[in-house]
Structure 1
Amino acid sequence: MRVEAEEGKQQAPDVAPRWPRRPSSVLAGSREGLAAVSAALTGAVGSALAIARWPTGPLRAGAPADVLAAAKAALGGDGIPEEGMGSEAALARLGRVLVEHGLHLSHAHAVAHLQPPPLAVAVAADALASASNASLDTYDSGPSAIAVERWLIAGLIELAGLGSSADGVLTPGGSLSNLMGLLLARDAAALRRGIDARKEGVSALPGPVVFCSELAHFSVHRACAALGLGEGAVRPVPTDSRRRMSPDALAAMLRELGPEHTPLAIIATAGTTDFGSVDPLPQIAAIAAEHGVWLHVDAAYGFGTLFSERLAPRLAGIELADSITLDLHKLGWQPAAASVLLVSDAKAFTALERQVAYLNPEDDSEAGYDGLLGRSLQTTRRPDAVKVAATLLAHGRRGLGDMVDTCHDLARHAEARIKAEPELELVAPAELTTVVFRYRTGEDPAREDEINGQLRRRLMETGVALIGRTAVRLDGPGSPERVCLKFTLLNPTTTPEELDALVNAVLAAGRACSPRYQKGAA
């Protein structure tokens, strides 16, 4: 029976379908599709190698507006084209844009962020995972992908030293892992008070607070805001001379907390973004246990040191955490994203469990046809574990450990070189793979701030180097924040000579930006 359209409303014309339709492309999820993916990638890579004009530095020289405008023009201007140009031409064009106008993390002078050049095996495996288009929420959305993730989680649990009750899940990034860790901590605190946080909300918890180092990642504040706690729930704990959370200060703050407040979590950092400093985990864990507070360790940066026999002892105590954030798209050389949340007790995921008729009906789950929907805030979730599994199978723990050690050695080399230069001031030594320093001219500190910012932009605009920038209180609490520069060394193929050339480039840029030096040279 045909349903008539409502008066005044238009309907699409009733046009008979045309069969057979001409396929516009080959779909990837088949034997023929995989062959097409292989051919397309081979052609795109070949075009990039043969046609694209590769920058001599880590990025294309030019002002940001000019580089972005050139990239847009190279894409073909505004708007979606009415007719396609075909896969080969499209990939060749995009490949050229990415090469000529993008960032080359494999260049020795790309040292700005915790953003490594990814391993080739991980990139290839990521393409395979994308071709399958599997999802992790249900068994019938990707059984092999589920098996790979469970294998990976088991290996990471063992690496972290967690017990047999532990579990974990991959997430879209460290910020989301921290958010989930705090969500589980909130619900655990509510459960201790006989509250169902999912139904009653956080308002049922009196004055929830979260303790973390004053140098903790800003995602902690964002997570508190997203969970309805408000950023004011964060209580920053002072750090010591090595930029680690002070256990004495933490203990005092907990003792002074009145009954009108509920301590939800203590968040320790294993590898601060700027300094690579690791909070004293055993002492913090003891304090958390004494007060019955959830301990979350943000090891987004530092977890990769567990691959290294040399550096793994710095994370002693991580096995005492209730939850752990780790990012293998940092010290793991994975294409982003490859973040994981581990928990010491799988029961912590109870708060995320959902039974949905069209995804995981109860009788299907009881028969074993279940997925990982109940471990994540996501429904559709891509198989990011595939690239990590390929890396671990290809290189093993020792192979990754050697890469970690090499980057640590490079950081120590940079530290020594910086200390040897009169124009440079070492601000923070190489705890992991970062070094923080400052270009000095002997002028007013505010003027030196300007010069440090200018020299970094000069290096980017000329395409010579990409270095990091941060702000540090050089004279202790309460002092003004000063602009500092940072090397984040995550490229194990870099040589000491290339690192020396980078320091020389920093010195040259600083001199070019310093009027005092120019006057002296004249």
Structure 2
Amino acid sequence: MTPLTQARPLLSPFPPSLLAGSRDGLAEVLATLAEAIDTASTAHRPAGPLPAGTPAEVLAAATEALGAAELPAEGLGAKAALQRLATVLVEHGIDLSHPRAAAHLQPPPLAVAVAADALASAGNASLDTYDSGPSAIAVERWLIGVLTRLAGLGERADGVLTPGGSLSNLMGLLLARDAASFRRGINAREQGVAALPGPVVFCSELAHFSTHRACAALGLGEAAVFPVPVDERRRMRPDALAAALDALGPDRTPVAVVATAGTTDFGSIDPLPEIAEIASGHGIWMHVDAAYGFGALFSERLAGRLAGLELADSVTLDLHKLGWQPAATSVLLVSDTTAFTSLDREVAYLNPVDDAEAGYDGLLGRSLQTTRRPDAVKAAATLLTYGRTGLGRMVDTCHELARHAERRILAEPELELVAPAELTTVVFRYRGNARPAVLGELNGALRRRLLESGTALIGRTEVKAAGPGSRTRVCLKFTLLNPTATADDIDGLVDTVLDAGRTCERLIEEGAA
């Protein structure tokens, strides 16, 4: 038998280029990917932002192109695999860079951000411990410093990246719940929320539904949400908030006020200074959901609309909206780093006390996640590339496109402007010469016709008309986040909507005849 000391070293059957950490391997596979995308785009990309066809037809075609849903005994190799997937995603997917893609808060990502995201993925660092990714930790801390200063939150401010705005709102309300429990002398970690009597979370009646989901997940219950009425500009009414807080009995616990800086449908921004004053006067947490609106801070023209943001206890922001990042790049900022105390954990295999005291610590205590990818890398690359001025020009361009769409809608007798452009969204509906009774059906059919044809991608929502007892109306929405689009592109989009509206109106009237 060969002595152990003379045993031959194990020779790997795999070349170094197998791994992304190899320069040659990464360069080769990225070049292959670029070639696959170029081939698919040239040969297969639809003319519009979506492939034509019904959902069943498009999904069936994409599934067929993928091949049988079974693991092959032998792999295809990188070139064939990437070519197949590129063809599926390009031919049967969405093209957010198309100027008529205007449905959701889902921007076309910047090329530098996508490249940086690949760089981050190649390293595969994690943020929970120092020895899982020291440089990635440094990048996130740098990014948080930039964002807290941009928000004006002060020297004690801190933050963390999360997998989306809904999760940032969840964490913000988690910290608010724990702060409310502390004021009541309750250890929320040990005693649970059952010990918190009658919790109440106040938010605008137009707040994102993630507030309700967060309350359900945190054990407060969706019934804890108190929707505060809005004014004619669709902003939370401070007088209504103050009255609701004053009316609370001793058996109720106000947990937080959630203000919105950029509602999903309208881009409306609640009066933050007045809300902050009320929240402070009652000694309760103020969370600002600025997932959409935070990007306005890049713009000198629009930044003033977020006055009062610096008074918040916590802030949600999504750089995968007005920041043009690949999803998800969300951040929760807090005004005081001690807010994260309730998330602290000591885990023997991750952050033992003696290692932490010696500086070998990570960011485990700032997140609900353990393994956490370095999403800050793509955002840092973007901020370093464009700076505030460059990003501000992108924001201003999209705002101007929305203002142009607003003016064009006002000029068309067949269209009705429902809500003007506060940030980059415009809400409207097609009226034509249709009977009022069929307008809801007509606008729903119009959007579906555009989706099936693949010629344009626009949003849909429901808006409550002014006045007591009024019903909600089905409306259409442009969400304009493409800084390379032009006024001519917007005119073409409006023309497409008008053509589809006229066709749908005729079909509905013929069907009723």
Q: TM-score, normalised to structure 1's length? A: 0.94
Q: How does 1:30-179 map to 2 (within 5 A)?
A: 30-50=22-42, 52-179=43-170
Match for 1:451 among 435, 442, 446? 442
Q: CA RMSD in A?
A: 1.6
Structure 1 counterpart of 2:359: 368
Deviation at 1:447, TM superposition (A): 1.1
Structure 1 counterpart of 2:506: 515
Deviation at 1:478, TM superposition (A): 3.5
Tell me how far apart the structure 1 counterparts of residues 435 and 34 of structure 2 sit (CA, whole Å). 55
1:409 aligns with 2:400: yes
Q: Deviations over 1:32-91 (max 9, x none)?
A: 4333343333333343344x3111100110011000010111111322222210011100
Structure 2 counterpart of 1:261: 252
Structure 1 counterpart of 2:286: 295
Q: Which amino acid aligns with 1:38?
A: L
Deviation at 1:259, TM superposition (A): 0.5
Unaligned runs of 5+ in 2: 1-8
Deviation at 1:481, TM superposition (A): 1.1
Instruction: Check conservation: 1:441, 1:516, Cα contact below 8 A.
Output: no
Match for 2:472 among 474, 478, 481? 481
Tell me how far apart the structure 1 counterparts of residues 443 and 38 of structure 2 sit (CA, whole Å). 40
Unaligned runs of 5+ in 1: 1-17
Instruction: Check conservation: 1:135, 1:381, Cα contact below 8 A.
Output: yes
Q: Deviations over 1:145-172 (max 9, x none)?
A: 0000000000000000011000000000
Tell me how far apart the structure 2 counterparts of residues 476 and 353 of structure 1 sit (CA, whole Å). 49
Match for 1:436 among 396, 417, 427? 427
Tell me how far apart the structure 1 counterparts of residues 153 and 339 of structure 2 sit (CA, whole Å). 14
Instruction: Check conservation: 1:28, 1:36, Cα contact below 8 A.
Output: no
Structure 2 counterpart of 1:199: 190
Structure 2 counterpart of 1:6: none
Deviation at 1:480, TM superposition (A): 1.4
Structure 1 counterpart of 2:217: 226
Deviation at 1:19, TM superposition (A): 6.7
Instruction: Check conservation: 2:29, 2:78, Cα contact below 8 A.
Output: no
Match for 2:18 among 22, 26, 29? 26
Deviation at 1:352, TM superposition (A): 0.5
Go from structure 1 to structure 2 and tell me whether the alpha carbon gap of 1:518 and 1:494 turns closer, same or farther (over 3 Å shift): farther
Instruction: Check conservation: 1:136, 1:382, Cα contact below 8 A.
Output: yes
Tell me how far apart the structure 1 counterparts of residues 498 and 30 of structure 2 sit (CA, whole Å). 45
Tell me how far apart the structure 1 counterparts of residues 476 and 468 of structure 2 sit (CA, whole Å). 20
Tell me how far apart the structure 2 counterparts of residues 495 and 102 of structure 1 sit (CA, whole Å). 23
Structure 2 counterpart of 1:465: 456
Q: Percent identity?
A: 74
Instruction: Check conservation: 1:441, 1:448, Cα contact below 8 A.
Output: no
Tell me how far apart the structure 2 counterparts of residues 516 and 113 of structure 1 sit (CA, whole Å). 28
Q: Deviations over 1:129-158 (max 9, x none)?
A: 001000000000001100000000000000
Q: TM-score, normalised to structure 2's length? A: 0.95
Tell me how far apart the structure 1 counterparts of residues 437 and 508 of structure 2 sit (CA, whole Å). 17
Q: Which amino acid aligns with 2:318?
A: D
Go from structure 1 to structure 2 and tell me whether the alpha carbon gap of 1:418 and 1:385 turns closer, same or farther (over 3 Å shift): same
1:383 aligns with 2:374: yes
Q: Which amino acid aligns with 1:491?
A: N
SS of match in other structure, 1:426 = strand
Tell me how far apart the structure 2 counterparts of residues 221 and 232 of structure 1 sit (CA, whole Å). 8
Q: Which amino acid aligns with 1:438?
A: R
